[in-house]
Structure 1
Amino acid sequence: MDVFHLLWLVPAFPLAGFLILALFGLRLHSRAIAWIGTGSIGLSAILTLWIGVHFLTQPPANYQYSLTLWTWFDINGFAPGIALYLDPLSLVYIFVITFVSFFIHLYSTAFMRSNEGYVRFFAYMNLFVFSMLVLVLANNLLLLYLGWEGVGLCSFLLIGFWYRDEVNGYAARKAFIVTRIGDTAFIIGLFLLVKQFHTLNIQDILQQAPVVWSAGATAVVWVTILLLGGAVGKSAQLPLQTWLPDAMAGPTPVSALIHAATMVTAGVYLIARTHVLYSLAPAVQLLVAIIGLLTLLIAGFSALAQHDLKRILAYSTISQIGYMFLALGVGAWTAAIFHFMIHAFFKALLFLAAGAVIMAMEEEHDIFKMGGLRKKMPVTFWTFLVGSGALAAIPLITAGFYSKDLILFDAFASTQGSFWLWLGGFVGAFITVLYTFRMVFVTFYGEQKKPITHNPEEEKAMMIPLVVLAVLSVIGGWIELPHAWAHFTPFSDFLTHVLPPTNLKPDMESQEFMLQLLTAVIVFAGIYLSWLAYVKKPALSASWKNTSLGRACHDFFYKGWMFDQLYDKLFVKPVVWISRIDPHDFIDYIYEGFGRLNVLIHAGFSRTQSGYVRWYLLCIAIGILFIFSLILFV
């Protein structure tokens, strides 16, 4: 039996789980809801593993496999299909999506147990996973766009899950509207591709593009800019990064799913999937690197000033996605995907561990109101420490070192890289260490400021995912060792069947060890400074805030570099002002006109319902006479 023919079941299981929960969930016991919601993702993960083993041992021709399920529609020969496409890139993505999502769902069975809307939560989560799987498995642009908008819808539903709170509703609307800006650019880019190539098939477009377009052609520049607009919206990159910190209004497992396995990684996938187009537009590819670099620095400084544990992790995600954009921009395609996978492990771990802390603290999010939890919650502490070490890229012992170090090296050594791109990434790495261990030391060390009312470590369903993800956050990096150590690069070798290898400047590998040494120095220096400022001499951090410059910087970074305030003045307030001074413009008259026309039609038809049989018979006779007249005289 050809196991690849079962590929359609990978997204079908989550869809089936969603349909069962949506249609019959209110009649089911909470245990059945948990089994269906989690089990459907678990089946997808097991099937993905089986398909992956076959793909590695008995790969299909050219490491590509297409499965057409049926034709969506056929208009004059234009016939997009419901068709799936599997290659090394999509295989890596579906592995991360299904496995990380399974552990998040398992965690949620205990975390969300006492919440109203238990069945609604798992229905939305299953639909979220289904949409992301469709996005990365689609073989044509139309199906990809269906998954793209599906994850946008699910993020709106899950961010505003506790919709009775006005703040949550605002955060959901903000995420939906801001990402719509990028999606508008994205759909225009898709229209241009279809107009140029007369096909929706992604692989056909990528094969024809180098023949149809020359490097730097105006058309390919515009297409890649528009696709980049969609990517920065979904992946919360500059200038559309403002929605993600507010998205923390949703339940913690939702945050873990959005940040680790679904929505914010969609932009990275889109650019990697269309890398051929970006190779033909080097100026736009450089723009990708610059956007990633600026975003990782802006988000890193913002994280330094946050007090909310989940907002720190949110800004951290924006920063780490910035590293992936930096890698994509310098042509380090495999490094970006490698960091995507490792980031999924440790960021899911950090969010789930943070959720355990917040639950223990009775929904307290402020890290400065926590403290002293490492002995009270040892499993949570050690797993959180492992995730933090991976985020900070502690050398040798964490997976984050291997993936982030590869990006920094490629930013310097790639033919499309530069010293300045490396320096920005290097500074960002130092900032990452500072805010990460600030978070660790303030939350888990010092005096305990609030009692623990319920210890989540009693819930095995919450602790098992933490332990498994912690293990992956350590050993996950061993599949790609640095060039200076050994040419053991199975991950890159696997992806080079679909993504080109990084072009390095001559004699760069000899400098890799020195760059690694510098990275190690700043990691341990950052840990020491954080320990000094928040454990040994906490007055140091307080004294900085007491200065006028310190307060100004803190407020500026705390507000995310004032982007929300800027957009509020440039876009929100002008629209509100116009709507107030012109409440009855011509557009209102159009809609009011339709409404009044319907009222008149309704009134006219209502008069025909008189209740008199003779009136009805007369109308029937007139109708018959009219029909015969048409037959005889027309």
Structure 2
Amino acid sequence: MYILLIFLPIVGSCFTGLFGRYFGSKGSAFITTVCLFISFLLSLFCFYEVSFANSFVYINLSTWMNSEVLNVDWGFMFDSLTSSMCIVVTFISFLVHLYSIEYMSHDPHLPRFMSYLSLFTFFMLILVTADNFLQMFVGWEGVGLCSYLLINFWFTRIQANKAAIKAMLLNRIGDFCLLISIFVIFINFKSIDYATVAVLTPFFKNSTFNFLGFEFNVLNVIGVFMFLGATGKSAQLAFHTWLPDAMEGPTPVSALIHAATMVTAGVFLIVRCSFIYEYIDNVLKFVALIGALTSFFAATTGLLQNDMKRVIAYSTCSQLGYMIFACGLSNYSAGFFHLTNHAFFKALLFLSAGSVIHGVNDEQDMRKMGGLKNLLPYTYSMIVIGSLALIGFPFLTGFYSKDLILEVSFGKFSSLGYFSYCLGTLGAFFTAFYSSRLSYLTFVSKPMGYKQIICFAADSGKFICVALGCLAIPSIFIGYLTKDLIVGVGSDFFGTAVFVNSNNFNLFDAEFIDTFYKTLPVNLSLLGFFSALFFYTFRSHVLFKLKQSYLGKKIYYYLNRKWFFDKIYNEFFGQFFFKFGYSVSYKFVDRGVFELLGPTGLSNSALKISTNFHKMQTGYIYHYTLLILIGVSSFFGFKILLGLIGIIFDFRLLLIFLFMSLFLIKSSF
């Protein structure tokens, strides 16, 4: 059952990819969707057996590498953390497949698209079920490859090409850092199994190694590079720029990347490696700091974006910041709880946005929409549910996880905890504001688009509506139903899957903070939501005047340009490497040094020398006689000269002289 759960998506992907032309669009969509549905059902059984029945499952499939110390197996480990992720991945992926049947029905390459989606799901399942770092890295690289293929699915679009390359390059930086951490783990632990590393980690708490004359703590190096790898995949500050640009791909791809795969991999890795991070408090502080800054930065950036999908993408970046700084404050269960909750309402938001875009002739600019509430009532209700869950509206799914993260941050009673709480609370206000702004500009405001498009807008068909309805139910109820199970005080849901040092455990402390600080995040969220509705409905001229003021223009320009991260990267890094790659690496080194000293130089030299020798073939006997005499005399003279030089000088100097002479002769040609 467990093996079938993992390998059914790759079976569907291979059948569709290899025989899609014979099955056709409908057959390919049916095969892949059924495979994902069966995987989802199996994941439910897996969750019951592993999490409820406390039956840890370990499967050793076969030996992968067995070379001296390095022993790597194809093994699958199912604990409560893995079983929860399997449900999220398979459920979201199944609904994305179902949604794509209708959304991509006009595309002639639907079999290829469905094949990529299933392959994406398979690699994510490999990532979350692996029992060692190397097998996890296979899934890690696989989701990166599939994200490139899916973002660039419409490869004739230049922007899609650029977005896919950008995602690939930024993720390669993170992947390289993760690979370094795996190398350091193997060099020191002599193993890359999770279980072995977890057992041996306490013994390496004070271990150091020397690199270039500097002493480094082993666990600090592992933790920093592993977090940099997670930062690239989970789009944290400085590595985040690929995530909004990934919206160039089809909307189902965006939903899958943001909700169940790819971006959740980084958070999952940190939670999985809690047994390492709990022994490196200074690295945990760095993790919490980056997460808090990301949550605030992305919330402010999404405030003034006009592309519908880009606004939701920045909300994903912000919510990932919450998960990361929760892990940095040693509240891994709260961060993972928010990960699972976020997957449902973020998938709902993206797929609902796709339904809107589908209904208005692929228009994504919210300023060209408006008045769609009565034309797309079902989609409007889905967007409202997803937005309310996102802002943490009381008793919806997001309320139980996001507010818990802020509570435990304040309950840390440290400067870093207060800092994270303040930025997270401000981020909650901004999140509510731009979520309300999105709903108002798209559905409630006066129609601002083209008449021939707005008048013919309508809700999507049955497959899209079923997918949205299935996502709306957990977006409302799943947080309430699972809060006591996953993050309840005294709950042992994760067991040994998550390790928290007793000095860092503060879930009980968070229960006794002041009511004001407990309710402040939800109060600010409600304030942001209703203030956006009020200003955009009744006081839009105030916002216009604010935008037209001197300070308002500066703030608008700064936030609308995304804090100038893209500009800085393009001008100071992109242009530098482009110029270096062309002027230095290509023209000077490759075409210059390598070509002149390599094949081109040798072939030109040989051609010129052979041409000169050819000119000596005049056909006159006295010319040949002269050449023979010169050759014989030169040979004997060289022999005598060699003997004299051997007596006076070291013979090795002669060899150096000969090589230099040959080089000068070659240069003259």
**DSSP 3-state at the match of 1:83:** strand
Deviations 1:218-263 (A, max 9, x none): 1111110000110000000011011111110000000000000000
Deviations 1:355-375 (A, max 9, x none): 000011111001111111111
Alignment partner, residue 665 of structure 2 = none
Alignment partner, residue 431 of structure 2 = 432
| Structure 1 residue corresponding to 2:588, chosen from 576, 585, 597 | 585
Structure 2 distance, partners of 1:243, 1:376, is 34
Change (3 A) 1:361 1:338: same
Alignment of structure 1 residues 541-620 onto 2, 5 Å: 541-582=543-584, 583-588=586-591, 590=594
| Structure 2 residue corresponding to 1:93, chosen from 72, 76, 85 | 85
Does 2:176 correspond to 1:181? Answer: no
Alignment partner, residue 133 of structure 2 = 141
Does 2:53 correspond to 1:58? Answer: yes
Deviation at 1:56, TM superposition (A): 3.6
Q: Which moved more, 1:526-535 or 1:122-131?
A: 526-535
Q: What letter matches 2:108 in structure 1?
A: E
Alignment of structure 1 residues 327-406 onto 2, 5 Å: 327-396=326-395, 398-406=396-404
Q: Which moved more, 1:344-353 or 1:574-583?
A: 574-583
Deviations 1:415-474 (A, max 9, x none): 665222211111111111111111111111022233347656341100011111111111
Does 2:124 correspond to 1:132? Answer: yes
Alignment of structure 1 residues 242-391 onto 2, 5 Å: 242-391=241-390
Deviations 1:522-563 (A, max 9, x none): 122112210122122222222222112212211211121001
Structure 2 residues not aligned, in runs of 5+: 209-215, 605-669
Structure 2 distance, partners of 1:250, 1:352, is 13
**DSSP 3-state at the match of 2:58:** strand
Structure 1 residues not aligned, in runs of 5+: 1-5, 601-634
Q: What letter matches 2:43 in structure 1?
A: T
TM-score by length of 1: 0.89
Structure 1 distance, partners of 2:37, 2:402, is 29
Structure 2 distance, partners of 1:190, 1:155, is 23
Q: CA RMSD in A?
A: 2.3
Change (3 A) 1:454 1:86: farther
Change (3 A) 1:236 1:507: closer
**DSSP 3-state at the match of 1:305:** coil
Structure 1 distance, partners of 2:283, 2:108, is 47
Whether the 8 Å CA contact 2:277–2:284 is kept in 1: the answer is: yes
Alignment partner, residue 8 of structure 1 = 3
**DSSP 3-state at the match of 2:587:** coil
Deviation at 1:182, TM superposition (A): 0.9
Q: Which moved more, 1:444-453 or 1:105-114?
A: 444-453
Alignment partner, residue 39 of structure 1 = 34
Deviation at 1:490, TM superposition (A): 8.4
| Structure 2 residue corresponding to 1:412, chosen from 369, 386, 410 | 410
Q: Which moved more, 1:284-293 or 1:450-459?
A: 450-459
Larger Rg: 2
Deviations 1:27-71 (A, max 9, x none): 2122111111211111110111112122244322xxx32101111
Percent identity (aligned)? 34
Alignment partner, residue 27 of structure 1 = 22
Q: What letter matches 1:44 in structure 2?
A: S
Whether the 8 Å CA contact 1:480–1:492 is kept in 2: the answer is: no
Whether the 8 Å CA contact 1:331–1:414 is kept in 2: the answer is: no
Structure 2 distance, partners of 1:599, 1:568, is 40
Alignment partner, residue 530 of structure 1 = 532
TM-score by length of 2: 0.84
Alignment partner, residue 607 of structure 2 = none
Structure 2 distance, partners of 1:357, 1:441, is 13
Q: What letter matches 1:370 in structure 2?
A: M
**DSSP 3-state at the match of 1:348:** helix
Whether the 8 Å CA contact 1:296–1:320 is kept in 2: the answer is: yes
Alignment partner, residue 60 of structure 2 = 68
Structure 2 distance, partners of 1:37, 1:593, is 54
| Structure 2 residue corresponding to 1:165, chosen from 157, 160, 165 | 157
Deviation at 1:280, TM superposition (A): 1.0
Q: Which moved more, 1:489-498 or 1:557-566?
A: 489-498
Aligned residues: 588
Q: Which moved more, 1:406-415 or 1:239-248?
A: 406-415
**DSSP 3-state at the match of 2:66:** coil
**DSSP 3-state at the match of 1:126:** helix
Structure 2 distance, partners of 1:143, 1:498, is 18
Deviations 1:133-159 (A, max 9, x none): 000100011110000000000000111
Structure 2 distance, partners of 1:31, 1:244, is 31
Structure 2 distance, partners of 1:422, 1:67, is 41
Q: What letter matches 1:384 in structure 2?
A: I
Structure 1 distance, partners of 2:120, 2:174, is 19
Change (3 A) 1:74 1:328: same
Q: Which moved more, 1:217-226 or 1:512-521?
A: 512-521
Deviation at 1:112, TM superposition (A): 0.4
Alignment partner, residue 193 of structure 1 = 185
Whether the 8 Å CA contact 2:302–2:310 is kept in 1: the answer is: yes
Q: What letter matches 2:270 in structure 1?
A: I
Change (3 A) 1:77 1:579: closer
Q: Which moved more, 1:578-587 or 1:76-85?
A: 578-587
Structure 1 distance, partners of 2:340, 2:506, is 23
Alignment partner, residue 625 of structure 2 = none
Whether the 8 Å CA contact 1:480–1:491 is kept in 2: the answer is: no
Deviations 1:86-129 (A, max 9, x none): 11111111110001111111111100000131111111111100
Structure 1 distance, partners of 2:166, 2:487, is 44
Q: What letter matches 2:368 in structure 1?
A: K
Structure 2 distance, partners of 1:590, 1:104, is 50
Whether the 8 Å CA contact 1:479–1:488 is kept in 2: the answer is: no
| Structure 2 residue corresponding to 1:152, chosen from 140, 144, 152 | 144
**DSSP 3-state at the match of 1:72:** strand
**DSSP 3-state at the match of 2:65:** coil
**DSSP 3-state at the match of 2:21:** helix
